[in-house]
């Protein structure tokens, strides 16, 4: 996605009654974009300013905890997320010298039931 240094307007038109409020957000990282999405859904006009000329992958994996995925689910993004995400079955902490498992936490469906959204 190419972004210039000028403002980018984002208003999905879902909200109402706050059309006179304008918010400027500096930075189109996940924080800025999530804030913009939340505000736009409430009808706030949002302008996002990003210094980088381009937004692109930086080549890392990203763990998304249940509190975050719960918000994305609320925004109707469960399906696109499920297409690209892997749901871990368990979390294990191991001794790096021997590989011995020190602790194990089951995840998957049990985790989703407990926290209301997948990890």
Ligand X SMILES: Cc1cc2nc3c(=O)[nH]c(=O)nc-3n(C[C@H](O)[C@H](O)[C@H](O)COP(=O)(O)OP(=O)(O)OC[C@H]3O[C@@H](n4cnc5c(N)ncnc54)[C@H](O)[C@@H]3O)c2cc1C
List of residues contacting ligand X (CB under 6 A): 26-32, 49-52, 60, 62-63
Residue number closest to ligand X, CB atom: 29
Judged by CB, which is closer to ligand X: 30, or 89?
Answer: 30
Which of 81, 80, 105 is CA-nearest to residue 94?
A: 105
- Parallel/antiparallel/unpaired status of strands 90-94 and 45-49: unpaired
Angle ∠(38,42,43) on CA atoms, nearest 5: 120
> Shortest Cβ distance from residue 105 to ligand X (Å)?
17
Q: Tell me whether residue 44 or residue 69 sits nearer to ligand X (CB atom).
A: 69
DSSP H helices, the chain, are 30-41, 66-74, 78-84, 108-115
First to last CA, the chain: 27
- Nearer to ligand X by Cβ, of 28 and 46: the residue is 28
- In whole angstroms, how close is the CB of 25 to ligand X at the nearest point? 9
In the complex, least distance from residue 114 CB atom to ligand X, rounded to whole angstroms = 19
C-beta closer to ligand X: residue 19 or 74: 74
């Amino acid at each position: 996605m190419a972004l210039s240094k000028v403002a980018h307007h984002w208003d999905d038109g879902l909200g109402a009654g706050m059309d006179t409020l304008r918010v400027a957000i500096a930075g189109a990282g996940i924080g800025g974009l999530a804030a913009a999405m939340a505000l736009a859904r409430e009808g706030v006009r949002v302008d996002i300013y990003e210094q980088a000329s381009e937004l692109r992958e930086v080549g890392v994996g990203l763990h998304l905890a249940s509190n975050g995925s719960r918000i994305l689910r609320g925004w109707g993004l469960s399906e696109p997320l499920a297409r690209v995400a892997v749901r871990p079955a368990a979390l294990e902490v191991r001794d790096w010298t021997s590989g011995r498992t020190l602790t194990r936490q089951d995840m998957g469906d049990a985790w989703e039931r407990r926290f209301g959204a997948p990890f």
